[in-house]
Amino acid sequence: MPVNNRIIMLVDMESFYAGVEKAGRPELRGLPLAVVGDPSVPSSAVLAACPVAKRFGIRTGERLSSALAKCPALVPVRPRMGDYIEISAQIASILEAYTDLVEPYSIDEMFADFTGSMHLYGGVPEELARLIQSRITVETGVRSRFGIGANKVRAKLACDLVAKRTETGIFHLHNEEDWTNRIWPEPVRRMWGVGGRMERHLHALRILTIGELARTPLSKLRARWGVNGEVLWRIANGIDDSPVSPWTRTEHKEIGTTITLPRSYRSAAEIETVLLDLCTEIGRRARRMKCMGDTLSFGAGGEGGYRRSEGVRRRIKLADPTDITAELYEAALNLFRGSWDGMPIKRLSVSLSGLGRAEVYQPSLFGNREQQRAIDRAMDEIKDRFGETAIVRGRSFTEAGRAKDRAEKIGGHYK
């Protein structure tokens, strides 16, 4: 079927984390609620605010202390990431009852292509959206919004710029007239893919609206930003040929993890202990995925970076693809020791890329790699049976270690 005749929906869950909390705790439904990384820490970030809290001006990303200043009656609750992941999967299953083309975009957003199945449900996209919306609310307690368009870009902007403002939470961009009348007048900062820095650059070129960006000569944008300029131009014009692919969720180009430390670490020994925890986690994930990587990256920053706000990031090509914790840790140590200037560290990240299948690796004739791999597998088996902290390297149990704390979290937040 021609691309222009596709029926694509972007399904977005309203204030997802907060919506899940209110669905599970009816006594909180009329109160201003915010899901906060750690409600006991004033500087902790707001991860989600319910619509009641948003009316006080509370926004995602601001500090809890700031949110409480705006709304002293705010109810801060700790996240339950395990529950959010489970409900996100439940919502995906609801969509999959109507189409097999469902692509998770994030934990609270999913694309779905109903082109091939629309005739089974009356042929009216808005009616199908209302049906699915009702099921999501009844089965999970979470309110959802639907943007409908001929491709993923149009569905996304229909949701972000129009559906979220309507009472029904549903909007269908039927044609080019809808696009130019409803999308083009919006400020360019509200367009998918435009952040604060890009907004300033576009304003400097006197491009203030999405329509003005769409009418800017493509050659001018490519000359300024290369392929990124063309991406912006295509989004502004609603051009997108990419399919809705359920396989997107299984593609992995990198295994990475980042940690924000509970305080600034000032000694090399403390920092190296955390690096060991991170490399242990990455190695375990690689082995679970049955893959190895040939490039290790290390990143770090203090309260404002080392001496610069962006911190530092280094990478190294490994001699051989690996999933061995000891080899990952050795590479991370070399990168850290070669870049650290002695300033306090607040954030650390480690990632493994250049991934390939573990079963095709070339065994080494030297060293004790197979012995190290056997040790890692034995530790993995113990953790699988008895939990992540059933066996941990001794230094990880020191005050600096974060292994126990991270075992209690998903994505840096409590399960």
Q: Active-site residue numbers? A: 109
What phi, psi does 11 have (nearest 5°)? -100, 120
Tokens 């696009």 locate to 179
Tokens of 396: 């990880």
Work out the number of other CB atoms within 10 angstroms of the CB of residue 230.
15
Residue 170 to residue 331: CA distance in whole angstroms: 50
Task: Give the end-to-end CA distance of the chain in Å, rounded to a whole number.
Answer: 43
Helix (H, G, I), strand (E, B) or coil at 262: strand
Residue 317 buriedness (CB in 10 A; 0-12 / 13-18 / 19+): exposed
Q: Three-class SS string for 56-92?
A: CCCCCCCEHHHHHHHCCCCEEECCCHHHHHHHHHHHH
Helix (H, G, I), strand (E, B) or coil at 193: coil
Residue 166 to residue 290: CA distance in whole angstroms: 46
Pairing outcome for strands 170-172 and 144-149: parallel
Residues 6+ apart with CB under 8 A from 11: 91, 95, 109, 110, 111, 112, 132, 136, 144, 145, 146, 159
Residue 332 to residue 256: CA distance in whole angstroms: 13
Q: Is 12 annotated as a binding residue?
A: yes
Residue 268 to residue 412: CA distance in whole angstroms: 23
Contacts 24+ apart (CB under 8 A), 357-361: 357/290, 357/291, 357/292, 358/286, 358/287, 358/290, 358/291, 358/292, 358/323, 359/290, 361/292, 361/320, 361/321
Residue 264 to residue 280: CA distance in whole angstroms: 22
Distinct helix (H) and strand (E) counts, the chain? 15, 15
Work out the number of other CB atoms within 10 angstroms of the CB of residue 232.
26
Q: Is 277 annotated as a binding residue?
A: no
Q: Binding site for Mg(2+): what residues are annotated?
A: 12, 108
Instruction: Extract the annotated binding site.
Output: 12, 108
